[in-house]
Each structure stands twice: as structure tokens, then as C-alpha cells.
């Protein structure tokens, strides 16, 4: 009988057990299946399970010597329900695709399986990943394990809730406007948006779509680095993909390389922020002084972020979903219809202006990182909100114009092409998690992970997950 205590182990520790032969991939699948039966009904993180496929893959892996089973050595990993897994229901959170079973996996999934990952579930996501609250008409809402009346954020909400409730050791997600960072913040785990090209994926609708990237989520920084190592590397099918670096991200995370100069900004100069979130993140950022770092309040100039992101996101929706609007409009949620229609109204002049704004913001960010090693800010501007609210309509007295404007603090970083993660950094007075967004210059994930691990050690919040889902208090 597999030990249910394994649920609480780190991914790195479980991989070591796999490599030593202390546990098998099949043992881990048994543990997960039991844990999912116990807790997932309360959070709805993993609505689609594929344990038969997982066990077939695990048995094939076990025919190989332990040393040849890849970096993950048979560790189970769930895939976000926007990404194709061969033979497994992949709905994109949309009634249009409620019966969609792809014949071929995304190259990201193929790579994870080559590296010894075993796919056992699809994690819940909003329709097409649109919006930072995970609910859809196919599977319903994902609830926050810290308080099941609250949102797990999104769009990788299922991934974050699975990690927090102990039904995953590692999880795959994706991020356009904070979709790996927001749910990590709300659920008290770590989520990383890597640099463009760091994680290869199958291009869809356009070769050069760079707002959205694929990335890892985990319960701590070392586990996150391990999954990034398994995900990263170039692939001929993704022309933007980057080669593997000579030093692993896990060794970078463990390097104890301390940043010398840190910038903290409560709002990046562009957004209201809940006062409690501001206070928790500021206190966490200031603790970098304990590692000998200089901490100053500063941020790059992101004044065009809202206009720029609105235009480029709308354009992305138009090229990827206009055909669905023409043929399946009645099955699309209103926010998605609005986004596609905004894209179809765009002029070349508006696109020209937005692209120039993005170039300018990226250049200013690069100049900023000549002075600072890391930029810190809140990962989300509010604590976890009631799950029935479709999005955040207002914060600290400001009413937002649309369903994505409240995400400016994360999408400004997307526009500047920087890698960024959300690190658990404390709790609100009511016991809900708060995430600190940590940002480095483009392609500096190694430096980012090293700094995040240093602060994680100082803050001492590592190990607060997994938890059993908690009812509203």
C-alpha cells in the first residue's frame, strides 16, 4: 500500500525516492488517485483524470533502468486544460470543445513525457484561459483550498488549487496576463512566467505570438526550478524556442546567489492595490535586507501598459478566435465575445502604436535592470475574492473599465518580456495567502530563482501547503 504521507513531500524529495527505487511511479499514481477522491470534490482542480493512460506510461517507464527514466523519473504531472494531451479530453474550458479528444499531444507534453513526467490529469481553466477566475460552463468553478468560498484565480487556477490541496507535486500552466502568477498568489504556491521561448510549445494561429507563454508551478522554488528544467529547451517546431542553458535551473536556485540591489514598488505606478496586500508585500520585500541587499522603492515607467495590453491582447483574440465568433457565437462567454470584437475593430495604426509602446517599455525595463537585480511588487492587487464574482470590478475606490484591467500589475511585466514569479510571502488578517511578484531582466530566470530561494528561506513560509480544503470561516 502506497504511503499517503508522500502527498506532503516536495517534488525534489519524491524524485530522489523514485531514483533510489524507494517508490515507483505506480505507487505515486495510487497516492494521487486516493487523495483526489478525498479532496478534489471540494475544490474541482482536476476535472479530467486519465489514470489508465498514466499507468500504461508508468509501466513502460519502469521497464527502463532508473537512471534512464529522465529528469522527473516517473513523477506525475497534470496539464492545464488548454494544452493538448493525446487521447485525453481537452476542452479549453469551452462548451465548443466539450467532447474534444486530440490525436496528438502538444510538443510541451511530449517533452515532459520524454523527461519522465507521467500525465494523469487535466487541470481546470476558464474558457480559453480568458479571465483570472477559474470557472467555465463545462466543469464549473475551481475553489480556493484556503477558503472554498473564494476564487483560486486563473487562468491556471486548477493547477494552483491541485498543488495547494495535495493532488499534485508539480503542475503545468500558462501565462498571458498573470495566469501562472495570480493563481499561485491566491493559493499560496509558486508560479513562474518564463522568458519568451524558454519553454517550447506547439504554435497555434501564429508563429510569433509572444504574450502567452507556458511555464511551471510548484509548492516551493526548488520544485519550480526542477519542472522548468524538465520543460525548457529548443524544438524545431517552435521557432522562438531557446536552447538549454549549461547550468540547470535547480542548481541556480540552490546557488545561494544573493541580489545586491532590490527595487520594490507597491503598484508599478499604474494600478490601485488593496492596502493589506500592499503592507504584506512591502514587509516581505524589506526582509531582503537580512540577506545584505539594498531595498529601494522604484519601478520602470509602465505608463502605456493598459492601452498597449488591451490592443495586443485583443489582436491575439481576433487571430485565434474570430472563426469561433463567426460560427459558434452562442457558445462563447460574453467576455470572450467582447475581446474578439475589440480585436476585429483594430486598425493598423492602433497596432503600430501598441507595438511601439511595447518596445519602449521593454527598453526602459532593460535600462532599469542595469541598476537593480530584481523588481518586487504585489502579484495580485487584492486577496482572494468570492468565487461567484466573475472578476475584480473595483479596488481601493477605483472602478475598472473591463474584466482584465485589474491585472495591470502582472501584464505590465508580460509586455516588458521579463521572467516573473509569484512567491508566497505572507497572509492577510483573515488567513488568506498573499503572493510577492519577483521580476528579473529578460532571460535571467537563473538569477530570479536564486533570489526567490533566498527570500523564501528568510520568510519561512515554505511548507505551508499542501492543506486539506478549508470551508469558509
Q: Model confidence over 248-273: pLDDT tens digits?
A: 999 999 999 999 999 999 999 999 99
Instruction: Please confirm, yes or no, whether 248 is among the known catalytic residues.
Output: no
Q: Per mean pLDDT, which range of 35-39, 129-133, 138-142, 423-427 is the poorest?
A: 129-133
Instruction: Please confirm, yes or no, whether 179 is among the known catalytic residues.
Output: yes
d(CA 297, CA 85): 44
d(CA 250, CA 233): 15
Record the cell numbers describing residue 375, joined without a space.
523588481
Q: Bridge-partner residues for 398, per DSSP? A: 395
Tally the residues of the chain.
Answer: 473
Does residue 270 or residue 402 have the better pLDDT? 270
Sorted by where each starts, the structural domains of the chain and their CATH numbers stand as: 4-459 (3.90.1300.10)
Digit-coded pLDDT (tens) for 85-109 = 999 999 999 999 999 999 999 999 9
pLDDT band, residue 473 (cuts 50/70/90): confident
d(CA 107, CA 50): 19
Q: Exposed, middle or buried by CB within 10 Å (0-12, 13-18, 19+), for 460? A: exposed
Given the residues 17, 80, 278, 333, the one annotated as active site: 80
Q: Name the H helices within 44-165.
A: 51-62, 107-114, 157-164
Record the cell numbers describing residue 218, joined without a space.
510548484
Q: What is the mean pLDDT of residues 432-442?
A: 98
Instruction: Please confirm, yes or no, whether 155 is among the known catalytic residues.
Output: yes
Digit-coded pLDDT (tens) for 45-80 = 999 999 999 999 999 999 999 889 999 999 999 999
How are beta strands 374-378 and 261-264 bridged, if at all? parallel
d(CA 79, CA 457): 29
Given the residues 151, 179, 195, 232, the one annotated as active site: 179
d(CA 3, CA 237): 40
Digit-coded pLDDT (tens) for 182-211 = 999 999 999 999 999 999 999 999 999 999
Question: Is the model's pLDDT at 1 over the cut of 70?
Answer: no
Q: What is the mean pLDDT of residues 269-280?
A: 98
CA 441 to chain centroid: 18
pLDDT at 66: 87
Q: Angle at CA 169, nearest 5°, toward 164 and 174?
A: 75
Cα distance from N-terminal residue to C-terminal residue, the chain:
35
Q: What is the mean pLDDT of residues 24-39?
A: 98
pLDDT above 70 as % of the chain: 100
Given the residues 105, 151, 155, 165, the one annotated as active site: 155
Residue with cell 526548488: 222
What's the mean per-residue pLDDT of the chain?
97
Give residues with Cβ within 8 angstroms of 21, minimum separation 6: 66
CA 237 to chain centroid: 23
Digit-coded pLDDT (tens) for 329-388 = 999 999 999 999 999 999 999 999 999 999 999 999 999 999 999 999 999 999 999 999
d(CA 119, CA 49): 9
**451 near 373, Cβ under 8 Å?**
yes
Q: Among 182, 210, 193, which Cα is nearest to 316's?
A: 210
DSSP states of 161-194 as a string? HHHHTTS-SEEEEEESSSTTHHHHHHHTSEEEEP
Q: What is the mean pLDDT of residues 388-414?
A: 95
Q: What is the mean pLDDT of residues 238-242?
A: 97
DSSP states of 128-143 as a string? GG-SSS---TTT---E
**230 near 224, Cβ under 8 Å?**
no
Amino acid at each position: 500500500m502506497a504511503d499517503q504521507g508522500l502527498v506532503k513531500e516536495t517534488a525534489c524529495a519524491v524524485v530522489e525516492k523514485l531514483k533510489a527505487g524507494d517508490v515507483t511511479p505506480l505507487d505515486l499514481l495510487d497516492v494521487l488517485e486516493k487523495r483526489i477522491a478525498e479532496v478534489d470534490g471540494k475544490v474541482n482542480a482536476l476535472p479530467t483524470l486519465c489514470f489508465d493512460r498514466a499507468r500504461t506510461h508508468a509501466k513502460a517507464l519502469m521497464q527502463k533502468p532508473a537512471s534512464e527514466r529522465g529528469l522527473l523519473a516517473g513523477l506525475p504531472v497534470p496539464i492545464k486544460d488548454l494544452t493538448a494531451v493525446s487521447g485525453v479530453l481537452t476542452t479549453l474550458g469551452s462548451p465548443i470543445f466539450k467532447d474534444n479528444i486530440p490525436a496528438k499531444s502538444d510538443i510541451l507534453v511530449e517533452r515532459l513525457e520524454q523527461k519522465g513526467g507521467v500525465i494523469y490529469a487535466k487541470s481546470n481553466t476558464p474558457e480559453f484561459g480568458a479571465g483570472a477566475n477559474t470557472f467555465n460552463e463545462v466543469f464549473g468553478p475551481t475553489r480556493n483550498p484556503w477558503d472554498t468560498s473564494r476564487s483560486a484565480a486563473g487562468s491556471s487556477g486548477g493547477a494552483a488549487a491541485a498543488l495547494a490541496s495535495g493532488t499534485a507535486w508539480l503542475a503545468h500552466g500558462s501565462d498571458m496576463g498573470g495566469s501562472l502568477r495570480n493563481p499561485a498568489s491566491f493559493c499560496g504556491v509558486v508560479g513562474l512566467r518564463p522568458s519568451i521561448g524558454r519553454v517550447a510549445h506547439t504554435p497555434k494561429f501564429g508563429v510569433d505570438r509572444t504574450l502567452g507563454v507556458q511555464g511551471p508551478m510548484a509548492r516551493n522554488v526548488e520544485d519550480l526550478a526542477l519542472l522548468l528544467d524538465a520543460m525548457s529547451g529548443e524544438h524545431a517546431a517552435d521557432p522562438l524556442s531557446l536552447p538549454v542553458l549549461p547550468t540547470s535551473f535547480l542548481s541556480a536556485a540552490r546557488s545561494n546567489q544573493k541580489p545586491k540591489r532590490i527595487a520594490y514598488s507597491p503598484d508599478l505606478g499604474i494600478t490601485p492595490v488593496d492596502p493589506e496586500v500592499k503592507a504584506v508585500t512591502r514587509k516581505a520585500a524589506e526582509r531582503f535586507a537580512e540577506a545584505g541587499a539594498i531595498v529601494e522603492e522604484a519601478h520602470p515607467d509602465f505608463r502605456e501598459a493598459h492601452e498597449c495590453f488591451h490592443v495586443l491582447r485583443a489582436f491575439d483574440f481576433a487571430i485565434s478566435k474570430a472563426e469561433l465568433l463567426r460560427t459558434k457565437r452562442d457558445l462563447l462567454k460574453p467576455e470572450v465575445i467582447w475581446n474578439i470584437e475589440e480585436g476585429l475593430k483594430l486598425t493598423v495604426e492602433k497596432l503600430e502604436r501598441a507595438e511601439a509602446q511595447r518596445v519602449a517599455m521593454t527598453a526602459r525595463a532593460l535600462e532599469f535592470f542595469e541598476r537593480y537585480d530584481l523588481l518586487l511588487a504585489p502579484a495580485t492587487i487584492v486577496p482572494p475574492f468570492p468565487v461567484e464574482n466573475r472578476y475584480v470590478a473595483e479596488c481601493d475606490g477605483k472602478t475598472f473599465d473591463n474584466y482584465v484591467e485589474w491585472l495591470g500589475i502582472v501584464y505590465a511585466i508580460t509586455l516588458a518580456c521579463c521572467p516573473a514569479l509569484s512567491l508566497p510571502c505572507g497572509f492577510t488578517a483573515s488567513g488568506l495567502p498573499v503572493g510577492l511578484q519577483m521580476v528579473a531582466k529578460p532571460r535571467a530566470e537563473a538569477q530570479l530563482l536564486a533570489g526567490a530561494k533566498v527570500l523564501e528561506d528568510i520568510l519561512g513560509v515554505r511548507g505551508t501547503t499542501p492543506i486539506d480544503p478549508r470551508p469558509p470561516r
